[in-house]
Amino acid sequence: MQAEAIVKIKSEMEANKDNAYIQYIGQFLLQRIEANPDDAAKLASKDKTIAKSLEAMKSEAKKKQKNGMAMLTPDEGLAIVLKYFGTAPIAVTTSTITHKNHASDFDVKLEDFGL
């Protein structure tokens, strides 16, 4: 099931190369599969897509709208994506996502300092 989920996600990413949001969420989901293989079946669901997860985020952001503006933190957005796909909720932090095309490879964690 893992392979199916990976192919599905990569296929949607490939079909939407010009959409940075789909690329970002796709990368997040690929890392999610790697860290939580049991989620692969839910992420492979044919009726669930990255694009539709973005619509779920949009819907939630509209609920918070103030003066014509709506925003979500990256952590809130990723939590909505996980909820949309029906995966177990976890504390999501953007620091756990590996971003491609970083200008720097600087990576420091509190654990590195024994904290």
Q: Does 107 fall in a domain?
A: no
21 domain residue, yes or no: yes
Query: What's the pLDDT tens digit per position in 5-27?
Result: 999 999 999 999 999 999 999 99
User: What's the structural domain count of the chain?
Assistant: 1
In terms of residue numbers, what domain contains 81? 2-99
Q: What's the CA gap between 106 and 83, in Å, rounded? A: 31
Within a domain: 78: yes
pLDDT band at 103 (very low <50, low <70, confident <90, very high): very low
Within-domain flag for 112? no
State yes or no: pLDDT of 102 exceeds 50: no
pLDDT over 50 (residue 112): yes
Give residue 16's pLDDT.
Answer: 98
Residue 41 inside a domain? The answer is yes
Please check whether residue 81 lies inside any domain of the structure. yes
Q: Could you tell me the pLDDT band of residue 89, with boundaries at 50, 70 and 90?
A: confident
What does the pLDDT look like over 33-83, one tens digit per residue? 999 999 999 999 999 999 999 999 999 999 999 998 999 999 999 999 999
CB burial class (10 A; 0-12, 13-18, 19+) of residue 103? exposed
In a domain, 12, yes or no: yes
Rounded to whole angstroms, the Cα distance separating 91 from 110 reads: 17
Beta strands in 31-99 (DSSP E): none
Q: Is 37 within a domain?
A: yes
Q: Name which residue leads in pLDDT, 49 or 94.
A: 49
